[in-house]
Structure 1
Amino acid sequence: MLASLEFEGVRHSWLWIILIIAGAGVLYWTYREIFQRSERRVTWGLMALRAAGLLGLVLALAKPTWTDENESIDPGHLAVVLDNSISMSLEGRYAKATEAVSQLRGQIESDRSGPRVKVDVFDVTGTRITDDIPKEPRQERTDLTNSASETLAQLRSKLLVGLVLVSDGVDNTGRQDTASLAEAGTPIYSIGFHSDVEASRLDLKVGEPQAPLRVMVNNEIKVMIPVSKSVGPQITATVTAKRGGEEFAREQVTLPEGSVEQLVPVTFTPSEAGSFVYTASVSSGTGEQLLANNSRHFPLQVDADAIGVLYLEGFLRYEYKYLKNRLEDDPDVSLVSVVRRANPERVDLSSGDTLITPERLENLDLVILGDMEGDYLSDGEYEALKNWVDEGHALLVLGGYHSFGADGFRNTPLAGVLPVVFADDGVEQSEEPFVLDLTQRGRQHPIFEVTGDGVKDLTLWSTASQLLGSSLVARAKAGAEVLAVNPNIKIDGQPAVVIATGRYGSGRAMVVNADTTWRWTRLTRVAGKSDTLYSRFWSQTIRWVTGRDIEEKRSQIVVSTNRPDYEVGKEVSIRVRRQADLESEVTGDVAVEVADETGKRLPIEVRSGSAEPDLFVASFYPSIGGRYEVNASLKSEGKTVANQTAEFLVHSSDLELADTGTNRSLLKSISQKSGGVYVDVEDASELADSIERKERRSARVERTEYWDSPFLFLFFIAAVTGEWVLRRKNHLV
């Protein structure tokens, strides 16, 4: 470091010295008479203040400047590109590569005999590795030219002493011309591998598993796993089916001598409902080298137990016909239906006259009662049904002339179970057409969700086909929820109740007073349109009333993807819905992370719109194949109040495994054209001596201009002002 004090305003120092001496003489001569007329102490003070003011003026004119010159040293940088593509997964190849990188970094950075060099490590995509080196090679493709170009671009502002490629040389872009790398002006060194003869020997491979797309929870399923062997003698292999780290099935299989492919059946029983990704794997103790193709993922939708439904109908009518067809088409519903007048010979489920008994209700989740007289069931059956609902099951009563009429349910024990009060007298049925009108509660209720967009759904319901009347009740009971009304009819000043639900004990009861919902499907089909409105309404009603989508028990957030599987690089659409129950709102911030098979988590930005503030969407583009988890959490006041996980599968590419050998000639060509050196991975320790060490030195000059300081100006003002005050105080002005 060099430092100096300069006076930029001084050109001839001898002249300044003469002027300063002359100025000092004039100052003394000026104050000589004051010494004679005043106290000497006052005179000395006046002269000192005048001298200080003149000194400040002289310094301002002389322009004193302090100059510091500092030298900084920027170390050279050595870029190391580690090939972490799947072709490096041959046993021992990737381990040798990572060991070579660690060894080279240690040699370069610990050597203090010459200029200092810093080592920067990148993966095969040109992404800087800031943390630990990846434990497994998982990239789907190798483009060595792009890897080197991306790495050089990121270090273009640094003093680059060289770039080291640690790779098997298997570039699957088909590009063999590496002239562009030679033009970069940076020597490229290569660490490669000998041709691996063993790689062409024994290889086990798992093909695409043959599994059902959807299964029922707690039911045994069979998955056929194709396992192939390339060459070699007869061996025994182990085939497993896992989800994450949990093993569900294991089978031993004997693979005959030579090249063979065999279907291996494995069976297991999913114990949890949801959308999952399972992994089929094969392994042996034969020293197989290519392990990347030893596993294959497959998606599996596990549905909850079928909803047991008993539908009793007193009359054969359109409402029964279309609802029965809808429930029979629903894969999650196990339906038993009985209609009295459809077949007079069959009036019960098996034999005898008793339709409902505690034993028959044991395997049911929901009982639907259609249009019937009150004496259709006996008092004992009503009591059994009432107790069954009280224990936590569901009852759905449909509108009809008889069920809500004078001879209907009003005089049975069910009157105390249902969420409505029957009309005492007057009109019990309206035949006036109307469009179902959703209440505020109904607009938020899941049974009326069609598109997921609240505004669109409300429009669909307001333009739905008209219903031809409904049964009339006096009102909803206290505590019941009215979800939809008939706006054309007023009872006690309120729109007539059409759909209402309420609790009875631990169970739930629901009434749908309309008896012509079949028009939502028949009329739309006649017009050549989809009957989504009808099918979703009844499917969602059955699920909600039985607790499969119960508001009180559901998570405050639900996360899903638009598909169960994707290709590498394709968009994965993630949806997170923040769900409030019907009694309260839910607030909080939604956070989403995506985790790959290695456990690496990547935060994903989510966004929502003003139309649906509780719906958050995000996009993710996977760069490698495998099983992924989407973890969504809801945070309020810094605490996680809810979370949910979904899984999806990204299909791997077989491109990296098409050539399991090595390509030393390509690496040698790159090094030769760019002025670098090639070494085998076993000789990686020798490469450090071939790399030229450089560092960049630069000088930085810092100038401090004291004459341009406000303190110098204040010093001058203070001196002049002080002299004037002292003169005035002593009556010298």
Structure 2
Amino acid sequence: MILAQNDESVRRAFEWDNAPEGWPALLALLALLAIGYAVIWLYRREGREGAGPALRLVLAGLRCAVVGALAVIWLDPVIATYNVRTIHARVAVVTDVSTSMSVSDPLQSAAGGTRLERVEELYSAGNHAWLRRLAENNQLALYAFGEETAALAAPWESGAGGLAAAPVGRGRSDAALAVAHAFEDRSEQPMAAVILVSDGQFNKGAAAEDIAAHARRFKSPIYAIGVGAAVEPPNLRVVEIAAPPTAPTGDPFQIRVQAAASGIDSASAEIELTVQAAQEAAAAGEPPAVVARRSVTLTPDAPQTVDFEVTPGPPGSYVYRVRIEPLADEPVLLDNARDAGVEVLDQRLRVLLVTGGPSYEYRYLTRMLERDRSVDVSCWLQSADVQAVRDGDVVIRELPRRPEEVFGYDAIILLDPNPEEFDQALALTLRRFVDEFGGGLLVQAGPHHSARFMRDARLADLVAILPITPDPEADVRLTEQGTFRTRAVAIEPAEQNRTHPLVSLASDAAGNREVWRALPGVSWHLPVLKPKPIATVLLETPGGGGEPECLMAVQPVGAGRTAFLGFNTTWRWRGTAERCFNQFWVQVVRYLSQARREAVSKRGTISLDRATIFVGDYVTVEARVLDPQYNPWHEPQVEATLKSGDAAERATLLSAIPGREGWFAGRVLFDHEGSTLIRVKLPGGEGRPENSADERPEAGPAALTKRVLVQQPDYELRALRMREDVLRELALQTGGEFFTLDDAGGLPSLIKKASQTLRTPGPKLAQWDRGWVLAVLAGLLAVEWWVRRRNHLL
């Protein structure tokens, strides 16, 4: 039986409205007794003739009766009316239905049911006897919680659904929100107890200590029922998959996978990498193609890292999936696979190569880049005649200076540049190219022009973004040591950055160290004062007896990157290992171009406030929008659309960000699993297809696009054991008790009736002014008068 929230009734009671309390009551009683004693004492000494003992006793009794009647009138007898309201207490049963409750614990359940199914067995056994026992003494309230909380009807009521159908997100467990809901819904009802049924994996909202403090404020105990095994079940899972968001077609890239094990000592596992077009993955069409397989040994000590080398196919959106073959007795399979989305682009990287003279470095680097199918290189030889035939895939007739020309490139490499052809406007444009538009810039020093280039005041904006502080006495130092050393100085990767992708020329650390030792050293390099504080030093001279000198450094600058290479003899590496020369410069170009390549468009970018997106996440989407002249777009809003698989396209508005010209932002809900395409239309793009093949620097796509992969969250699967310590401490701090699911059958008998009764006084009906009271008083006096008259005592 479910109790009603309140019962109301009216009750009447006889009361003395003027009755004193405490010491006044005692004094009044003593006074009354004294009066009675005085009356009896006087009548016993009645000396008149005819007043015998019996008559005196009758007269004393009548006089005492009169005094008693007056005392009753003075006490003011009334019939009091009370409105009685009984407030029935609540007992709230709060059940965890998050993803971790879908785990089965083979050691605890021979039938193999999940944790949630075992809880439902407790609730439904014996025609819901366990829940009905709770409802006998207190009003029953049922809740299910995950990321949100939902109130449930009692299972024996019509239309009631099961726990599995509760409309709550299951990606996380927010027990604090659920308990708070239970207290808020009670209105003015007292809370007899809160019964929390969970595995204790609370990974959202307030901590268990805060839940206990909240319950103590309402003086309500929490009884915790732990569900699941107290030890980690055997489980293999993919912790992370890292892949670049974009890659040029045919340009190899790396996918890094981290896998881990728990609940076992060690296990041999097969890791498989597959690829599938995003459209096919969303439509569950063709099966994915296997890219590679690896066999690894996983232990609980630390995640195992596995790298896959991938060569992308034709342009398009692809989903790469990593899957671990599960163990034979593994209870959880949801975390055995993880996806990463990669956009394969048909645009080739656009590189501008500017050199002060026809050095060997320039000749070999130009030829190498011209052979690279992923790069379109434009070359500007400053010392060449005006009518000279220019090198490069895309021939230019003059040094790009205008912003719309410079901003069309992904990376710019300056080889010992002659400062005479540069001016302050071009220096500022190059700085904006890096800082605002995410471009990459490398300055390689050479013996002819670099010292003057670094000192030129007109180029201060450009020099300021380099990762080194130039040495104003560089010429003096070079003169002291001679223009060229007679003995080459070795090149060493900086100790703390030996694994940086720019200096990785071998697959392992030991091999990489041997490669660098075998390469020819440098006979000349430009001295620098020091690296910038945020710079990463990659190459340096051996320290010997003094400080090592910086030969190469990189640093982030705004949205882009800059690099400094202090020597110009990498071409000599070709005599030892041409592969190292090619690999080094390909890595440099990719590194410098990465930010622009990820943004896809040169007329803006779309960025999100997080790298990993789960279903149900609200994400801040920011877009930088530029007009065809690369000026910030000034409008109060721009429209963005989201397309996820077969779901209908959704439109949302991004509002201008105050103080940031051309930037727009908005909060977007990602509610579909899989690949989602974000598209922001660019101004001035009408009449041209979105994926235009126009290669002019000033051209760009008609819309900014960014494809993101939305995944199911794994917060619930990072630890699978029942947290008995958390649940037991929560119960202890609130005056409750901890039970396992198998021992919870006797819990309802511990929760007593906790209802409260409130009495509200109503009107009072006085009794002393009734006619019969006056008649009794008058009758007593009349009888005493008659007795006295009859016996001649008046």
TM-score by length of 2: 0.40
TM-score by length of 1: 0.42
